[in-house]
Chain A
Amino acid sequence: MTAPPFSPFDRPNSYIGRSVPRPNARRLLAGRGQFTDDVQFARLTHVAFLRSPHAHARIRGLDLNAAKAAPGVIVIATGADLARLCRPWVGTLTHFAGLKSPPQYPLAIDRVVWRGEPVVAAVAATRALAEDALELVVVDWEELPAVADMETALDPATSVIHPEFGDNKAFSLHLESGAVDQAFAAAHQVIEAEWHFGRHTAVSLEPRTMVAQFDPSEQRLTVFQSTQTPYQMQDVYARHLGLSDAQVRVVAKDVGGSFGMKLHVYGDEMATAALSMMLGRPVKFVADRLESFVSDIHARDHRVKARVAVTADGEITAFAVDDLTGIGPFSAYPRTSAVEGNQVIRLIGGPYRHRHYRADLKVVFQNKNIMSQYRAVGHPIACAVTEAMVDLAAASVGLDPVELRRRNMLTDDMYPYTSPTGFVFERLSHHQCLDRLVGHMDYESLRAEQERLRRHGVFRGIGIAAYIEITNPGPAFYGVGGARISAQDGCILKLEPSGQVRCLVSVTEQGQGTETAMAQVAASVLGIPLDAVRVVTGDTEVTPHGGATWASRGAGIGGETVLRAARALRDNILALAGTILQAHADTLDIRDGLIVDADGGRERMALAELARIAFFRPDTLPPDFQPEMTVARHHVPRGQPFAFTNGIQAAHVEVEIETGFIKLLKHWVVDDCGRVINPQLVDEQIRGGVVQGIGAALFEECIYGADGQMQNGTLADYLVPMAGEMPDIVVDHVSTPTVYSELGAKGVGEAGTAASAAAVLNAVNDALRPLGARVTTIPLTPDRVLAALGKLDA
Chain B
Amino acid sequence: MPGTIPIALTVNGAPVSRAVEPRLNLVDFLRIDLGLTGTHVGCEHGVCGACTLLLDGDMVRGCLVLAVQADGAVVETIEGLSERGALRRLQDAFLARNALQCGFCTPGMLIAAAALLAQDPAPSRDAIRAHLSGNYCRCTGYHAIIDAVEAAAAKP
Query: A residues within 8 Å of B by Cβ?
Result: 19, 21-22, 25-26, 28-35, 37-38, 40, 71-72, 128, 202-207, 254-257, 259, 288-289, 510-513, 680-681, 684, 687-692, 714-716, 720-726, 728-729, 752
Q: Which of B35, B50, B137, B143 contacts A728 (CB 8 A)?
A: B143
> Which bracket fits the contact residues of B?
35 or more
A715 touches B98 (CB 8 A): no
Q: Are A256 and B103 interface neighbours, CB within 8 A?
A: yes
A256 touches B102 (CB 8 A): yes
- State the CA gap A765–B77 with chains docked (Å): 46
Q: Which residues of A contact B14 (CB under 8 A)?
A: none
> B133 within 8 Å of A by Cβ?
yes
Shortest Cβ gap from B53 to chain A (Å)? 10
Whether B143 pairs with A687 at a CB distance below 8 angstroms is yes
By the criterion CB–CB under 8 Å, are A205 and B104 in contact? yes
Is the beta-carbon distance between A723 and B132 smaller than 8 angstroms? Answer: yes
The answer to whether A26 touches B133, judged by C-beta atoms less than 8 angstroms apart, is: no
Chain A: minimal CB distance from B127 (Å): 10
Cβ-defined contact, B133 with A33, below 8 A? no
Q: Could you tell me if A259 and B39 are in contact, using CB atoms closer than 8 angstroms?
A: no
Chain B, residue nearest A202 (CB):
B138
Q: How far is the CA of A33 from the CA of B106 in the complex (A)?
A: 10
Report the separation of the CA atoms of residues A33 and B100 in the bound assembly, to the nearest whole angstrom. 12
User: Are the CB atoms of B101 and A512 closer together than 8 Å?
Assistant: yes
Does A32 lie within 8 Å of B144, measured CB to CB? no
* B95 and A21 within 8 A (CB): yes
Asked if B78 is an interface residue, CB under 8 A from chain A, the answer is yes
Given A30-B91, A71-B1, A684-B141, list of 5 further CB < 8 A pairs?
A: A29-B106, A257-B139, A687-B144, A720-B136, A721-B141
Q: Which residues does chain B contribute within 8 Å of A729, judged by CB atoms?
A: 141, 143
What 0/1 pattern do residues 85 to 118 of B give for CB contact below 8 A with A? 0010001001111101111111100100000000
Main SS at interface, chain B: loop
A29-B91, A726-B143 known; A40-B35 Cβ under 8 A? yes
Q: In whole angstroms, what is the CA distance A257 to B36 when docked?
A: 21
B73 within 8 A of A: no
Contact status B95-A715, CB under 8 Å: no
Residues on the B chain within 8 Å of A512, using CB: 101
Closest chain-A Cβ to B31's Cβ sits at a distance in Å of 8
**Residue-wise interface mask of B (39-70) relative to A, using a CB-CB cutoff of 8 A (1 in contact, 0 not):** 11111111110100000000000000000000
In the complex, residue of chain B having the shortest beta-carbon distance to the beta carbon of A128: B23
Q: Which of A25, A289, A687 contacts B42 (CB 8 A)?
A: A289
B142 and A254: CB pair below 8 A? no
A9 to chain B: closest CB distance in Å?
A: 21
Cross-interface CB contact of B136 among A38, A205, A680, cutoff 8 Å: A205
A726 close to B94 (CB less than 8 A): no
A512 and B98 CA atoms in complex are apart in Å by 10
Least CB distance, B54 to chain A, in whole angstroms: 13
B146–A723 touching, CB < 8 Å: yes
Q: Which residues of B contact A29 (CB under 8 A)?
A: 82, 87, 91, 94-95, 100, 103, 106, 110
Contacts A289-B43, A722-B136 given; does A30 touch B38 at CB 8 Å: yes
Task: Report 25 cross-chain contacts, Cβ distance below 8 Å, ordered by A residue.
Answer: A19-B98, A25-B100, A26-B95, A29-B103, A30-B78, A30-B82, A31-B77, A31-B82, A32-B79, A72-B1, A205-B50, A205-B136, A205-B139, A206-B102, A207-B42, A511-B103, A687-B141, A691-B141, A714-B47, A720-B138, A721-B141, A722-B142, A723-B129, A724-B130, A726-B142
* Bound CA span A204–B103, Å: 11
Q: Which A residues are CB-close (under 8 A) to B94?
A: 25, 29
Complex Cα spacing A22 to B48, Å? 25
User: Do most interface residues of chain A lie in helix, strand or loop, or is the interface mixed?
Assistant: loop
Q: Which residues of chain A have C-beta atoms less than 8 A from B124's C-beta? A: none
Cα A692 to Cα B141 in complex, Å, equals 7
B contact residues vs A (CB 8 Å cutoff): 1, 21, 23, 31, 35-48, 50, 77-79, 82, 87, 91, 94-98, 100-107, 110, 125, 128-130, 132-146
The verdict on A688 contacting B139 (CB below 8 Å), with A511-B100, A716-B45 known, is yes
- Residue contact A21 to B45, C-beta cutoff 8 Å: no
Q: In the complex, how many angstroms separate the beta carbon of A492 from the nearest chain B beta carbon?
A: 25
**A511 touches which of B130, B132, B133, B139 (Cβ 8 Å):** B139
Q: Is the CB of B44 within 8 A of A288?
A: yes
Which A residue sits closest to B145, measured CB to CB? A723
Assess A257 versus B102: contact at CB under 8 Å? Given A687-B144, A723-B128, A723-B135.
yes
Q: Collect the chain B residues with CB atoms within 8 Å of residue A714's CB.
A: 43, 45, 47
Residue of B nearest to A21 (CB): B95
Contact (Cβ within 8 A) A511 B101: yes
User: CA of A719 to CA of B110 in the docked complex: distance in angstroms?
Assistant: 22
Question: How many Å from the CB of B66 to the closest CB on chain A?
Answer: 13
Give bound CA distance, A289 to B98, whole Å.
27
Contacts of A681 in B (CB 8 A): 98
Q: A71-B1, A691-B142 are in contact. Are A28 and B100 (CB under 8 A)?
A: yes
Complex CA–CA separation, A681 to B98 (angstroms): 7
Least Cβ distance of B41 to chain A in Å?
Answer: 8
Asked whether, in the complex, the Cβ of B141 is within 8 Å of the Cβ of A206, the reply is: no
The 7 A-B residue pairs with the shortest CB-CB distance in the complex, in nearest-first order: A31-B38, A28-B103, A511-B101, A31-B78, A256-B104, A511-B102, A691-B141
Contacts of B97 in A (CB 8 A): 680
Are B140 and A688 in touch, CB under 8 angstroms?
yes
Closest CB of chain A to B129's CB: distance in Å? Answer: 5
A254-B103, A511-B103, A715-B48 in contact; A259/B37 too (CB < 8 A)?
no
Q: Which residues of B contact A256 (CB under 8 A)?
A: 40, 102-104
Nearest-neighbor residue (CB-CB) of A39 within chain B: B37
Q: Are B40 and A684 in contact (CB under 8 A)?
A: no
Q: Determine if B133 and A257 form an interchain contact, defined as CB atoms under 8 angstroms apart.
A: no
Residue of B nearest to A258 (CB): B102
Instruction: Give the distance in Å from the alpha carbon of A721 to the alpha carbon of B146 in the complex.
Output: 14
Query: Chain A residues near B87 (CB, 8 Å)?
Result: 29
**Cβ-closest chain B residue relative to A689:** B141
A206 contacts B82, CB within 8 Å? no
A202 to B136 alpha-carbon distance, docked (Å): 13
A105 → B minimal CB distance (Å): 28
Please measure, in the bound complex, the distance between the C-alpha atom of A255 and the C-alpha atom of B21, giving whole angstroms.
30
Are the C-beta atoms of A205 and B141 separated by less than 8 Å?
Answer: no
- The contact of B141 among A26, A33, A254, A688, by CB within 8 Å, is A688
Contact A33–B103 (Cβ < 8 Å): yes
A726, B141: Cβ atoms closer than 8 Å: yes
A723–B133 CB distance below 8 A:
yes
A205 lies within 8 A of B48 (CB): yes
List the B side residues contacting A22 at CB < 8 Å.
95, 98
Taken together as a complex, chains A and B put the C-alpha atoms of A25 and B92 apart, in Å, by: 10
Distance in angstroms between the alpha carbons of A684 and B102 in the assembled complex: 12
- The answer on a CB contact under 8 Å between B38 and A33 is yes
Q: B36: which A residues are within 8 A, CB to CB?
A: 31
A31, A288, A690: most-surrounded residue (chain B CB, <10 A): A31
- Closest residue of chain A to B87, judged by CB? A29
Report the bound CA distance from A690 to B42 in whole Å: 22
- In the docked arrangement, what's the CA distance between A259 and B140, Å? 12
Shortest Cβ distance from residue A19 to the other chain B in the assembled complex, whole angstroms: 8
Q: Which residue, B40, B41, B102, B143, has most C-beta atoms of chain A within 10 A?
A: B102
Report Cα–Cα, A203/B97, bound state, in Å.
Answer: 24
In the complex, how many angstroms separate the beta carbon of B108 from the nearest chain A beta carbon? Answer: 9
Least Cβ–Cβ distance between A690 and chain B, in angstroms: 6
Q: Tell me the bound Cα distance from A752 to B45 in angstroms.
A: 30
A213 to B45, CA, bound (A): 30
- Which residues of A are found within 8 Å of B132, using beta-carbon distances? 723-724
**A719 to B41 alpha-carbon distance, docked (Å):** 18
Nearest A-chain residue to B36, judged by Cβ? A31
* Cα-based distance from A510 to B46 in the complex (angstroms): 25
Cβ–Cβ < 8 Å partners of A715 in chain B: 42-43, 45, 47-48, 136
A681 to B144, CA, bound (A): 11
Quick check: A28 and B106 within 8 Å, CB to CB? yes
Contact A32 B38, CB 8 Å, known A681-B98, A715-B45: yes
Q: Are A37 and B37 in contact (CB under 8 A)?
A: yes
Please tell me which one of the listed residues B41, B95, B146 contacts residue A25 in the complex, with CB atoms under 8 A apart: B95
